[in-house]
Amino acid sequence: MKTYRGYLLDLDGTIYRGKEVIPEAVAFIRELRKANIPFLYVTNNSTTTPELVAQRLSDMGIETAADEVYTSSMGAAAYLQERYPAGTDVYTIGEAGLHAALAEIGCKQVAEGAKVVIAGMDRAFTYEKLAAAATAIRHGAQFIATNRDPALPTERGLMPGSGSLIAAIATASGVEPVVIGKPERILVDYALERLGTSREETLIVGDNLLTDIGAGTNSGIDSLLVLTGYSRQEDLETSNWQPTHLAKDLMEWWQKCQA
């Protein structure tokens, strides 16, 4: 078995399911810390800040610092910062996580005349916001999306995700966005840079073939599918994305590594 020196870990379905932590994940994180193996939580969730994610994990019994979390909103802000001067006019559709990430890099949020439209999950999405975003893009603003997850698992069942809103903006403007989140490689590249391990020695872990395992393939890094969340073993038969490794849960994986 190849030894991995760094881990990029998905959250929902991998570390917890909704409000419940996955016990094998708690034990696995403990082992990683004991072995001094660096890791970073990488999430497509654009709505929340790394501080709140860290707090949530700590409340679940996994002591976490904010700098151990990397969100698609942070990736979107990093992408913007690389290409545009500080103080660039941006029209934003999103929640607290995206607003905080953009504030951190000094973006100026405007209602009209934006150079960039940046969109993620927004549970207060309206026709007016759609119209403003589409108009800005039609006038030449670049269109950036945090992620394209079509649906969100909630207590009410599957609810429209960021991808549903992005599809509306793409249809209304006639322009497809640059997408930051998994399965695109942009988020993984930034996360790798932050983690500091090389592509060859890093493993990306997740419960979703379409996003996590797709991201591994698109980024050229090995992947592990855990069967604690979204994807089922039988989904492998029809999936375009195939993980490098498969495990029932994170402790089964850890034991395989020790064998």
Q: Which residues are catalytic?
A: 10, 12
Span 186-215, contacts to Mg ion by CB under 5 A = 207-208
Find all residues with CB under 8 Å of 167, minimum gap 6, and list them: none
| 12 near Mg ion (CB under 5 A) | yes
- Tell which one of 4, 7, 8, 13 touches Mg ion (CB under 5 A): 13
- Tell which one of 7, 10, 101, 241 touches Mg ion (CB under 5 A): 10
Listed residue (208, 217, 207) closest to 185, CA to CA: 217
Q: Dihedral through CA 198, CA 85, CA 166, CA 206, nearest 10? A: 20
Least Cβ distance, residue 37 to Mg ion (angstroms): 21
Other beta carbons within 10 Å of 164: 16
| 68 near Mg ion (CB under 5 A) | no
44 vs 173, which CB is nearer to Mg ion?
A: 44
Least Cβ distance, residue 226 to Mg ion (angstroms): 9
Token code pair at residue 163: 């991808």
| 149 near Mg ion (CB under 5 A) | no
Least Cβ distance, residue 13 to Mg ion (angstroms): 4
Q: How far apart are CA 7 and CA 10, in angstroms?
A: 10
Least Cβ distance, residue 231 to Mg ion (angstroms): 9
**Do the Cβ atoms of 41 and 239 come closer than 8 Å?**
no
Q: Which residues bind Mg ion (CB under 5 A)?
A: 10, 12-13, 207-208
